[in-house]
Chains A and B, each alone.
Chain A
Amino acid sequence: AQSVTQLDSQVPVFEEAPVELRCNYSSSVSVYLFWYVQYPNQGLQLLLKYLSGSTLVKGINGFEAEFNKSQTSFHLRKPSVHISDTAEYFCAVSETGNFNKFYFGSGTKLNVKP
């Protein structure tokens, strides 16, 4: 079975500062990795995904994530955050070959302060 751990439940940061949201996973099989963002009172929206190829993945809104197989991590980063980035961020995994089932982390609340 797969599991996803997001180490920080909340991350406060000042506007224009860099941020990193951490995600670690455990799996006995190969996985695909995702980051989703949830703005208040909305559904989840895909930020970026890693399926194969380059381990550095770029997504929407200036976010990027790096897949590290040896560390079983997929941390999300942004060099300079905006107030509008305030949201809940979810890391998720899916088994390669079983794309119907997704496992989500518990979420990290990014709170960007002016």
Chain B
Amino acid sequence: DTAVSQTPKYLVTQMGNDKSIKCEQNLGHDTMYWYKQDSKKFLKIMFSYNNKELIINETVPNRFSPKSPDKAHLNLHINSLELGDSAVYFCASSHAYEQYFGPGTRLTVT
């Protein structure tokens, strides 16, 4: 069984569109994250939720809006997509100090 899953795996869209990425974890963890990995492989935290509550919100444009309907799900909605949003987005969940990452969603904005 996949521990942390993301959909879709690939997403190609045009500038100005709105898109969502979904994440689900079946590990029973309380904390979930979204990370952005750019073309140089640099990994930066965007958001973190603990038991559906937002606890980390890094300097991210407000076009990005996370939503956690329950502690097993953390979705990411992006409005008015820009070229610079092209990246791989990783969802992760954690228990204490161990993080488990999803397979990533490669977003390409044209």
Contact = CB atoms under 8 A, between A and B. Distances in A.
A100 B44 CA distance: 13
Given A43-B104, A45-B101, A99 B96 contact: yes
Interface of B: 4, 31, 40-45, 48, 50, 55-56, 90, 92, 94, 96-104
Interface string A78-114: 0000000000101000100001111110110100000
Given A100-B56, A101-B48, A104-B43, A44 B97 contact: no
A59 to B, nearest CB: 12
A13 to B, nearest CB: 19
Interface residues of A, number: 24
Given A44-B90, A88-B41, A49 B98 contact: yes
A43 B43 contact: no
A42 to B, nearest CB: 6
